[in-house]
């Protein structure tokens, strides 16, 4: 299985060497880097220092990897509360790149990279592509969005460093994507899995063959094994899942290898823990819980025990591919109710903000996610209350339009709003289940 996979000549890419470190050596590297990053975060970032002081832990208390559990967590709202640059551990003269992603409110989350951070990011993206079986000589159509989103540039710099031919086409414009796919002899593609399904559909309608396409590198939204089987059967390509998040680096935190049996975490740079989402207590290996990541080599913006809210488990035992870095199971759900739609993070609280703005009080609502023709759609069902109900069709249609506009503004995506009768949406005891995700294929 290994032979001939990584390189046309059956070679091995040197950037992937850390993937095969003997476990004992890997743990030594991790501990050394962990001590350095904790010291850096403590010395340079007020938030980390004050939290560690409150717990009475100092950087030199980290003597073993297990001591990580003594350190405080970092959560997404910490990035928002310190917006824009409050968690930076490098002076601006050393920061060479800023990216931003959607946050829980109007303000985005800003992430920073030094020259060395970009080098690490590039390296883990090279390792990602190698794991997916992409090599020098491949023509890669990069249909992740370029811009503030980390997907486009992250994949771009990794693929170039690998030596593949990169087509920086970015997202959208399906007709042009299909033309390029055919005319440029594309062998590999990067995009969200739902967008690839859409491409497949359009290619079939237009009777455009997929040409030389061999591999898909799909991430930035959750997808299932069933969807992979569907994509692979329909297109004849190999479909790989990759994992990443801007707060940690962007894409390149983990990737599936040719075995397609879990995602290898590039854990010499990103240390994974699995904790109980309720109590925060570390869980034994193999148990399902929330993935917590610590950046081991980040300079500009180290993250100590970042709560990803993604639920997964660390897969026990070695992988058939021979890599020694541990694997996580593909991520199927989250411990909070955030969801990812067309690469955009959406929180129900954003929808609530918009509903409140328009109606003055919060009506009962439900969010329904569907996948039609490979495109994710979001519908917000809003119960009509006495306060907003009008005898006039025009007034109700205006309310409907105002709701749709307000939600689109905070979420940043087109949504369908449906007015429904009162008491028709399910009520649940305790925490309301607001999101109904019907997207699995």
User: Which residues lie near other proteins (CB under 8 A)?
Assistant: 384-386, 389-393, 396-397, 400, 418-424
| Nearest distance from C-beta of residue 394 to other proteins, angstroms | 9
The DSSP bridge partners found for residue 311 are 290, 333
Sequence-ordered list of residues with C-beta below 8 angstroms from that of 404, at least 6 positions apart, any chain: 415, 416, 417
DSSP 67: G
| Nearest distance from C-beta of residue 369 to other proteins, angstroms | 19
CB of 191 closer than 8 Å to CB of 376: no
Strands (E) across 282-374 are located at 289-295, 306-312, 314-315, 327-328, 333-334, 339-341, 344-346, 365-372
| Nearest distance from C-beta of residue 96 to other proteins, angstroms | 50
Q: Cα 333 to chain center, whole Å?
A: 12
| Nearest distance from C-beta of residue 156 to other proteins, angstroms | 42
Sequence-ordered list of residues with C-beta below 8 angstroms from that of 433, at least 6 positions apart, any chain: 426
| Nearest distance from C-beta of residue 37 to other proteins, angstroms | 53
Q: Distance between CA 412 and CA 309 in Å, rounded? A: 21
Residue 287 or residue 397: which is nearer to other proteins going by CB?
Answer: 397
R_g over Cα of the chain:
23
DSSP string, 93-153: GGEEEEEEE--SSSS-EEEEEEHHHHHHHHHHHHHHHHHTT--TT-EEEE-SPPSSSHHHH
Residue 77 or residue 385: which is nearer to other proteins going by CB?
Answer: 385
Residue 205 or residue 391: which is nearer to other proteins going by CB?
Answer: 391
Residue 93 or residue 421: which is nearer to other proteins going by CB?
Answer: 421
Residue 63 or residue 386: which is nearer to other proteins going by CB?
Answer: 386
Residue 425 or residue 441: which is nearer to other proteins going by CB?
Answer: 425
Residue 281 or residue 393: which is nearer to other proteins going by CB?
Answer: 393
CB of 265 closer than 8 Å to CB of 284: no
| Nearest distance from C-beta of residue 396 to other proteins, angstroms | 7
Q: Quick count: other Cβ atoms within 10 Å of Cβ 433? A: 13
| Nearest distance from C-beta of residue 405 to other proteins, angstroms | 15
């Amino acid at each position: 299985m290994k032979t001939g996979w990584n390189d046309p000549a059956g070679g091995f890419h040197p950037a992937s060497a850390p993937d095969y470190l003997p476990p004992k050596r890997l743990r030594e590297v991790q501990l050394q880097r962990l001590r350095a990053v904790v010291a850096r975060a403590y010395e340079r970032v007020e938030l980390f220092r004050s939290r560690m002081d409150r717990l009475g832990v100092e950087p030199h208390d980290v003597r073993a990897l297990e001591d990580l559990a003594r350190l405080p967590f970092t959560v997404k709202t910490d990035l928002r509360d310190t917006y824009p640059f409050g968690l930076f551990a490098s002076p601006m003269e050393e920061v060479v790149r800023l990216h931003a992603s959607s946050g829980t409110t109007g303000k985005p989350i800003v992430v920073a990279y030094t020259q060395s951070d970009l080098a690490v990011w590039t390296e883990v993206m090279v390792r990602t592509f190698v794991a997916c079986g992409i090599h020098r000589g491949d023509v890669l159509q990069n249909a992740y969005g370029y811009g503030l989103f980390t997907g486009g540039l992250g994949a771009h710099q990794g693929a170039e460093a690998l030596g593949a031919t990169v087509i920086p086409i970015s997202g959208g414009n399906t007709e042009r994507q299909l033309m390029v796919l055919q005319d440029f002899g594309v062998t590999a593609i990067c995009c969200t899995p739902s967008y690839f399904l859409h491409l497949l559909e359009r290619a079939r309608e237009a009777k455009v063959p997929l040409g030389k396409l061999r591999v898909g590198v799909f991430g930035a939204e959750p997808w299932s094994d069933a969807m992979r089987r569907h994509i692979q059967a329909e297109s004849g390509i190999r479909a790989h899942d990759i994992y990443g998040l801007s707060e940690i680096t962007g894409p390149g935190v983990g990737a599936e290898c040719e075995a397609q049996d879990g995602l290898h975490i590039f854990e010499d740079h990103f240390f994974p823990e699995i904790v109980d989402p309720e109590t925060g207590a570390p869980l034994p290996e193999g148990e399902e819980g929330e993935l917590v990541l610590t950046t081991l080599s980040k300079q500009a913006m180290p993250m100590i025990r970042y709560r990803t809210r993604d639920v997964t488990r660390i897969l026990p035992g070695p992988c058939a591919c021979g890599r020694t870095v541990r694997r996580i199971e593909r991520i199927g759900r989250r411990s909070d109710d955030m969801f990812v739609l067309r690469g955009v993070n959406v929180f129900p609280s954003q929808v609530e903000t918009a509903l409140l703005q328009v109606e003055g009080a919060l009506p009962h609502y439900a969010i329904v996610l569907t996948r039609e023709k490979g495109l994710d759609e979001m519908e917000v069902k809003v119960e009509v209350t006495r306060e907003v109900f009008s005898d006039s069709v025009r007034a109700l249609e205006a309310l409907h339009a105002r709701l749709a506009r307000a939600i689109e503004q905070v979420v940043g995506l087109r949504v369908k709003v449906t007015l429904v009768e009162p008491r028709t949406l399910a009520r649940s005891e305790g925490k309301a289940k607001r999101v109904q995700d019907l997207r699995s294929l």
